[in-house]
Structure 1
Amino acid sequence: MNWRWRELISLILLCILGWKPSSIQGATDPTDASALRVLYSSLNSPSQLTKWNANGDDPCGQSWKGITCSGTRVTEINLSGLGLSGSLGYQLASMASVTNLDVSNNNIGGEIVYQLPPNLKRLNLARNNFNKGIPYSISLITSLQYLNISHNQLQNPLIDMFGQLTSLFTLDLSFNAMSGNLPQSFSSLSGISTMNLQNNQFTGTIDVLATLPLDNLNVENNRFTGWIPNQLKNINLRKDGNSWSSGPAPPPPPGTPPATRRNRSHSSGGSPSNGGSSEGQKSGLGGGAIAGIIISVLVVGAVVAFFIVKRRSKRSSSDIERLDNQPLQPLKMTATQEMKSEETSSTFYPTAFDTSAAINLKPPPIDRHKSFDEDDFSKRAPVVKKASAAPINVKAYSIADLQMATGSFNVENLLGEGSFGRVYRAEFDNGKVLAVKKINSSALPRELAEDFTDIVSQVSQLHHPNITELVGYCSEHGQHLLVYEFHKNGSLYDFLHLSDEYNRPLIWNSRIKIALGTARALEYLHEVCSPSIVHRNIKSANILLDAEFSPHLSDSGLESFVPNADQALDDDASSGYTAPEVAMSGQYTLKSDVYSFGVVMLELLTGRKPFDSSRSRMEQSLVRWATPQLHDIDALTKMVDPELKGLYPVKSLSRFADVIALCVQTEPEFRPPMSEVVEALVRLVQRANMSKRTVGNDNATSPRGGEMGGEDTP
């Protein structure tokens, strides 16, 4: 009996002890806890964040200030009005359960981080010191309902990235210095109710907003032009401080919905249908009269066309062939240009340089190549020139300007030579330093030079933190030049392969950072741009490093938009970056970009060139030599760049090699899309649990063993 009592008491004690940990400890998800620790350090460990701790592992159980949890996961971060400074860190993307992030009314600065919680419904960054632009990662947060980035210092044009944000009902970008036209993807904001764009420097028209279900729109104090669409005249509209056109507005393009508001009876407080009818009564012609005129014109046109066709049918076949070769081609180009002119400048549309043929591994339609036949092009050149789209948000430089800035393209200012021409350092009178690419005539021959402004227009629309920004162009006296932002630390190739007593080796964390940033640039080109852009020339020489050693992919879009790109790249086919299928077929695809990126990762891992004729025959090709050893940890540690001196986490090294192995597979269909590569590298960074010093402020100095020698978190 005593034995049974003891057994019963022991069972009760076990139950009590079993319940106690879960009721007392919050047991916060380790991923969330790690992300909040990084955030705490990035915000300069402020004392006003009570109970926060750089080593804390239970924000939920310890009730960290501003943190709300559900179970073990953090669901809200509300740090508004606490006088915080610093930045938002780099690990927020791992917080998958956070639906509300509010850091408004603080002094947080720098760029808005790319890494944001992926399932946010509310994001409030208002009244801080954020600069540059809006990261395109926000376009992937499809659950977002409220976005407020007002009262900051944002300056870049808006990326065309709003197509998937159909749940967004409030967008506030007011009181910044954003410029450029409104993006075409604004028209996809089917749930939008309130939009505040006032006190910026936006240009162009607001036609893209015409069909949105808006109740409140504020566009005051910008640089908008054109007419206010009738659809927006029955809402709460604030429009002062712009250069609106006066007089009667031109008729809307075909297919434009009538100027009546949709589903407004629930919120307008009045009778919007009456407003719509009054507008109709004021117009000079009713809908029936206009329809009658259009029908009459069509009937007359049909009759005329009938007799023309009938007369032509009596002519000889040679006459018909001669006539077909004369008027039909120019008419076809005119129609194409008219379609392009109706589309806004902020969106990518297929043009004569469309990359879909390469992507689909199919020959392009005959018409697309036919438009570049030399004889045919000469007939249509005036039409193309007349309708050519103007470059957007880039400056037009004169030859004289660039000659002065480069010392007449002095060899002392030569930065490098690529597939399309030489790149020079240019320093202007105001002290600004830029990079000027002088395009070879072989890459853009005379008969295609008329389309140079179209190329500039397309390339100027690429905006991403890891893509070298096009800031200007020059097209004079048969010369064609592109002006890019300048990055002081040169190319990744220089750092890895050119010995320089002033260049210290890149530490392991810097190498991961460069790989991740480059992967994000490719993800943007492949999966955000529409149509997708195949870079075609991924190599370490085209990855430029800024003062913080963040990577910037150069020549982005140029290879896709220049018709002679494949010919210009032929010399690079034996460089070691080219995917096997490209060497066989000559076709560049998204998956061939992935392969080339894998080769760059191999460079980062080994410090070797992709092809090195000075080595033994078995080791000349980096991919062929390294691939069999990527899953052998002993061989892998022997492959690592000796300049790292063993200062790297072994598990991090192994995971990095796993990503490489996926990217450089022989069969393209087995290579992952770049979004999966980005996810894998982000997980690698998170698991490595890098310190703020080595990730947030890389300076490429020799690392201390205590920072990099330890094992990463499994």
Structure 2
Amino acid sequence: MSWLCCGSSEMSTSFSKTQSQPGEVMNSEEPKTERREARSFTFQELANATENFSSENCVDINSFGKVYLGELEGTFEVVTVEKMVVDRSGGAREFLVKVLMLSLLNHPNLINLVGYCAEGDERILVHEYLPLGSLEKHLHGGSSNRKHLDWDTRMKIALGTARGLEYMHHAAVPAVIYRNLKPSNILLDDDYNAKLSDFGLSKLGPSGDKLHVSVLVRGTLGYIAPEYEKTGRLTVKADVYSFGVVLLELITGQRAADVTDEQSLISWVKNIQKDPKKVPAFADPRLQGEFPATGLKQALEVASKCLQENEIARPSMKDVVATLENLSQTME
């Protein structure tokens, strides 16, 4: 895939260079999440919570299994219960990775792991319930699922997503590479705060003198960084690329890749970006022109930086967060 801008000289938005200490999460004003020990559930407890995994309580079906709404006995807490299929290739590994990652990571923009079940052949994850569902449903779902997202809400979602990645890249030791950023994995609470979910593909980043980790290419078409897709060489900059794609989706309302289209979202944006007069054409028509012209231009520039072909030229997520925070402040 090609990048949007051919050279950084075309970019007017400057990326702030932050000076946080290793392990320090920037922006001390953001809400804190208290660490919650993951609870070990019995299969019967989760069967009771979901009315014996009733089809009426099934809210999603993915490649790893089915997701149900449930209510825990005693606390009456509403949760999501992901009943994984472990007889598929890698199913057991995905379960272990998800439990490990969510037990180690703790941030307001990452989904909270309530508990798990590993009884017999059953592998089940219990997460906090996020009532507004995924960003995918709001941007690309059917008319009954779509809820209008105004410009400020879209930028709030972008900033929350960026903060989650920043935490994984810069506060976790070693760094964690998410490797699976896309709208369906960005969940929203009732105040449109973004939380990253599904850590089954996540990898610990390189340690020591290593600059990357080498792994089989996994991910979703349209979101995979070109250097990772071609070589299997994975760094945190692959997540930065994926974030650029998601930011474009928030701006345009278009899918990253659609087999019915002749070109990808990135190619489409690159083509019309050549004419500055066409910048307003980037915006999702559902916004009905209600967005700041300067904010649109600057958000596109952030996406352009993230999507550069050369991974070294992409900003860090720490710098992306700082830039989006400045953008939010100028829009107030």
Fold shared per TM-score above 0.5: yes
Cα distance, 1:139 vs structure 2:
7.7
Check if 1:611 corresponds to 2:254: no
Change (3 A) 1:502 1:458: closer
Q: How far does the alpha carbon of each residue in 1:86-129 deviate from its partner, in whole angstroms, 9 at most, with x for none?
A: xxxxxxxx9xxxxxxxxxxxxxxxxxxxxxxx99xxxxxxxxxx
Return the letter of the residue paired with 1:642: P
- Structure 2 Cα separation of the partners of residues 557 and 589 of structure 1: 17
Cα distance, 1:425 vs structure 2:
1.7
- Structure 1 Cα separation of the partners of residues 58 and 279 of structure 2: 38
Equivalent residue, structure 2, for 1:435: 80
Alignment of 1:242-641 (within 5 A): 393-429=37-73, 430-441=75-86, 442=88, 444=90, 452=96, 456-501=99-144, 503-556=146-199, 559-560=202-203, 570=218, 572-573=219-220, 575-615=221-261, 617=262, 619=263, 621-630=264-273, 632-641=275-284
- Structure 2 Cα separation of the partners of residues 587 and 474 of structure 1: 34
8 Å CA contact 2:47–2:53 kept in 1: the answer is yes
Change (3 A) 1:631 1:553: farther
Return the letter of the residue paired with 1:636: V
Return the letter of the residue paired with 2:44: A
Change (3 A) 1:455 1:466: closer
Cα distance, 1:583 vs structure 2:
1.8
Change (3 A) 1:666 1:415: farther
8 Å CA contact 1:462–1:469 kept in 2: the answer is no
TM-score, with structure 2 as normaliser: 0.81
8 Å CA contact 1:536–1:589 kept in 2: the answer is no
Q: How far does the alpha carbon of each residue in 1:179-207 deviate from its partner, in whole angstroms, 9 at most, with x for none?
A: x7xxxxxxxxxxxxxxxxxxxxxxxxxxx
- Structure 2 Cα separation of the partners of residues 669 and 466 of structure 1: 26
Change (3 A) 1:682 1:417: same
- Structure 1 Cα separation of the partners of residues 234 and 62 of structure 2: 18
Change (3 A) 1:679 1:419: farther
Change (3 A) 1:630 1:529: farther
- Structure 1 Cα separation of the partners of residues 179 and 33 of structure 2: 30
- Structure 1 Cα separation of the partners of residues 110 and 33 of structure 2: 17
8 Å CA contact 1:630–1:661 kept in 2: the answer is no
Equivalent residue, structure 2, for 1:214: none
What is the SS of the residue equivalent to 1:460?
helix
- Structure 2 Cα separation of the partners of residues 490 and 506 of structure 1: 13
Q: How far does the alpha carbon of each residue in 1:385-421 deviate from its partner, in whole angstroms, 9 at most, with x for none?
A: xxxxxxxx11111111112222333333233344533
- Structure 1 Cα separation of the partners of residues 168 and 62 of structure 2: 20
Alignment of 1:149-298 (within 5 A): 156-157=34-35
Which segments of 5 or more consecutive residues in structure 2 lack a partner in the other structure?
1-15, 205-214
- Structure 2 Cα separation of the partners of residues 524 and 686 of structure 1: 21
TM-score, with structure 1 as normaliser: 0.39
Change (3 A) 1:577 1:419: farther
Cα distance, 1:435 vs structure 2:
1.3
Change (3 A) 1:455 1:602: closer
Return the letter of the residue paired with 2:191: E
Q: How far does the alpha carbon of each residue in 1:500-559 deviate from its partner, in whole angstroms, 9 at most, with x for none?
A: 346431000000000001000000000110000000000000000110011011124752
8 Å CA contact 2:139–2:146 kept in 1: the answer is no
- Structure 1 Cα separation of the partners of residues 253 and 295 of structure 2: 17
- Structure 1 Cα separation of the partners of residues 271 and 322 of structure 2: 24
- Structure 2 Cα separation of the partners of residues 633 and 623 of structure 1: 16
Return the letter of the residue paired with 1:675: K
- Identity, in percent, stands at 37
Return the letter of the residue paired with 2:34: N
Q: How many aligned positions are there?
A: 299
What is the SS of the residue equivalent to 2:138?
helix
- Structure 1 Cα separation of the partners of residues 101 and 256 of structure 2: 31
What is the SS of the residue equivalent to 1:467?
coil
What is the SS of the residue equivalent to 1:476?
coil
Q: How far does the alpha carbon of each residue in 1:639-677 deviate from its partner, in whole angstroms, 9 at most, with x for none?
A: 211100000010000000000000111121111110110
| Aligned-residue RMSD, C-alpha | 2.9
Change (3 A) 1:686 1:455: closer
Change (3 A) 1:458 1:522: closer
Return the letter of the residue paired with 2:57: N
- Structure 2 Cα separation of the partners of residues 418 and 631 of structure 1: 39
8 Å CA contact 2:140–2:146 kept in 1: the answer is no
Larger Rg: 1
What is the SS of the residue equivalent to 1:483?
strand
Check if 1:647 corresponds to 2:293: no
Cα distance, 1:458 vs structure 2:
4.3
Equivalent residue, structure 1, for 2:5: none
- Structure 2 Cα separation of the partners of residues 680 and 631 of structure 1: 23
- Structure 2 Cα separation of the partners of residues 155 and 552 of structure 1: 12
- Structure 2 Cα separation of the partners of residues 502 and 658 of structure 1: 30
Change (3 A) 1:632 1:546: farther
- Structure 1 Cα separation of the partners of residues 89 and 127 of structure 2: 18
Which segments of 5 or more consecutive residues in structure 1 lack a partner in the other structure?
1-93, 95-117, 120-134, 141-153, 158-179, 181-392, 690-714
Change (3 A) 1:651 1:585: same
Q: How far does the alpha carbon of each residue in 1:682-713 deviate from its partner, in whole angstroms, 9 at most, with x for none?
A: 11101111xxxxxxxxxxxxxxxxxxxxxxxx
8 Å CA contact 2:161–2:195 kept in 1: the answer is yes
- Structure 2 Cα separation of the partners of residues 470 and 555 of structure 1: 11
The structure with higher relative contact order (CA 8 Å, sep 6+) is 2
Equivalent residue, structure 1, for 2:301: 658
Cα distance, 1:423 vs structure 2:
2.3
What is the SS of the residue equivalent to 2:116?
strand
- Structure 2 Cα separation of the partners of residues 592 and 455 of structure 1: 20
